[in-house]
Structure 1
Amino acid sequence: MVGNRIVIWRHGQTDWNKINRFQGHSDIPLNEVGKVQVTRAAQVLAGMNPTQIISSDLGRAKETAQSLADLTGLGFSSHESLRETNGGLWEGKTGSQNRAEDFHNFIRWIDGDDSPAGTTGERRSEVASRAVGEILKALEGKTEQLLVVATHGGTARCVLGELLQLPLSHWGVLGGLSNASWSVLQRNPRQWNLVEHNAGSIPEPVYGEESGATFV
């Protein structure tokens, strides 16, 4: 995999992002701002000459990927394994609601504990395993690729933490991605290196502090 690069690209803004509502597996579309964001971002990413595009199978990520596919002429494949964290009982609720209704568990999770989100949802380690597995499968046997992965804020954090071989308790040192912004990883003979993070922001706020995108 030497010479391969991975662009981890967060989807554009949704109405749920703006109000800090935990989206998880809920299939929430891009709003008008989000559509503008991904159109602008795709113009920059197209100039990086991607060789392959893969996406979460949720609409907000597929629409993000489609904006780049349209410019480059590349198709893209969508995968359930690249979805956002399943939020369990927290999904569809705002951060303030989850703090009020499930304070102890929610704060532990925000602080980086590898407990299931919303009691019945996913652990971050599970998200990392499924998403990284899909990404490495796409790069298997290939070199000098630029793979663009259209995904979600929480999944992006998990992928970065896992590929950079950070202890899970330290994944929170990576700042969140703004909507339609991206990070770039490059493979050398020994490891993956982070060469860009939260690129493309102007800057913009990182919506979703308590909705799966970030934790401290």
Structure 2
Amino acid sequence: MSGTDTRTHGAADAGRRRTGRRVVLWRHGQTAWNLERRFQGSTDIALTEDGVAQARRAARLLASLRPDVIVASDLKRAAATAAELAQITGLDVSHDSALRETYAGAWQGLTHEEIVERHGEQYSAWKRGEPVRRGGGELETEVADRAAPVVLHHAEKLPEEGTLVVVSHGGTIRTTIGRLLGLESHHWESLGGLSNCCWSVLGEGARGWRLLEHNAGTLPEPVLGDDD
């Protein structure tokens, strides 16, 4: 009996040991437009004081993962979030405009209520999973076309069990996860939003990338403006 127990525990321990590369997709901290439920898109909005505090708190947790590489959107809210992790880890941050949030044209700067009032049919079509150029901007698939290759490029250069931290935006992260998991685009919305300064984790498996964690953080937080 004791021999069986030993083998069982050994297998469980082996299962807990991580193998393969890991990608952490981390959403930026809170902005004033998040609080106002304004669609930010590619508008360059800074973090609030609370957003900076969120980034600082989350960075202490993510530093324990011993990241090898940090790459971030060049928009201020993502760059400032990434800077908090860089300060703790001593790593440099690579900034890439391909990791920006979706350009949403006429939707940008509008509150959720204003979007529904002025662009109700377009909004409903998007929520149904139809390909929509929100406000005359980018399709979600076009966002994935530009962002996912950047993530893969950096992930492929990691050591065998290395960790990449990608600091980006709610909509871009969701579309990137959907693309890397091989999901059809009309299913991407089912992944749900990311709260400010929460993250999702993809792990490298035998059949490709797997979603290990989604919208993880210290405690549950409301999702404010998850596509920005």
- State the aligned residue count: 209
Cα gap change, 1:141/1:48 in structure 2, threshold over 3 Å: closer, same or farther?
closer
Counterpart of 2:156?
140
Aligned-partner Cα distance in 2 for 1:101–1:112: 19
1:107-126 deviation per Cα after TM superposition (whole angstroms, max 9, x unaligned): 2123322211212x100000
Instruction: Structure 1 unaligned segments of length 5 or more: list them.
Output: none
SS at 2:212 equivalent: strand
Aligned-partner Cα distance in 2 for 1:141–1:67: 23
1:86 is aligned, of 89, 95, 103, to 103
1:166-193 deviation per Cα after TM superposition (whole angstroms, max 9, x unaligned): 1111111112110000000001121111
SS at 1:148 equivalent: strand
1:173 aligns with 2:197: no
Q: Which has the larger radius of gyration?
A: 2
Counterpart of 1:28?
45
SS at 2:51 equivalent: helix
**Offset of residue 136 of structure 1:** 1.0
Aligned-partner Cα distance in 2 for 1:122–1:153: 15
SS at 2:147 equivalent: helix
Alignment check: 8 A CA contact 2:23 2:155 kept: no
What amino acid sits opposite 1:177 in the alignment?
L
Counterpart of 2:5?
none
Counterpart of 2:55?
38
1:112-163 deviation per Cα after TM superposition (whole angstroms, max 9, x unaligned): 22211212x1000000111101111112344322000000000011011111
Aligned-partner Cα distance in 2 for 1:141–1:103: 44
Task: State TM-score, norm by structure 1.
Answer: 0.93
Aligned-partner Cα distance in 2 for 1:124–1:152: 13
What amino acid sits opposite 2:115 in the alignment?
N
Question: Which residues of 2 match residues 77-116 of structure 1 at below 5 A?
Answer: 77-116=94-133
1:123 aligns with 2:132: no
1:47 is aligned, of 64, 69, 85, to 64
Alignment check: 8 A CA contact 1:158 1:171 kept: yes
Counterpart of 1:203?
220
Counterpart of 1:183?
200
Aligned-partner Cα distance in 1 for 2:76–2:39: 16
SS at 2:201 equivalent: strand
1:7 aligns with 2:28: no
Aligned-partner Cα distance in 2 for 1:149–1:58: 13
What amino acid sits opposite 2:207 in the alignment?
R
Task: State TM-score, norm by structure 2.
Answer: 0.88
Aligned-partner Cα distance in 2 for 1:199–1:24: 23
Instruction: Structure 2 unaligned segments of length 5 or more: list them.
Output: 1-18
**Offset of residue 201 of structure 1:** 4.5
What amino acid sits opposite 1:195 in the alignment?
L
What amino acid sits opposite 1:175 in the alignment?
G
Choose between structure 1 and 2: higher helix proportion: 2
**Offset of residue 195 of structure 1:** 0.7
**Offset of residue 203 of structure 1:** 1.0
The structure 1 segments of at least 4 consecutive aligned residues displaced by more than 6 Å after TM superposition are none
Counterpart of 2:176?
159
Aligned-partner Cα distance in 2 for 1:50–1:58: 21
Aligned-partner Cα distance in 2 for 1:97–1:201: 32
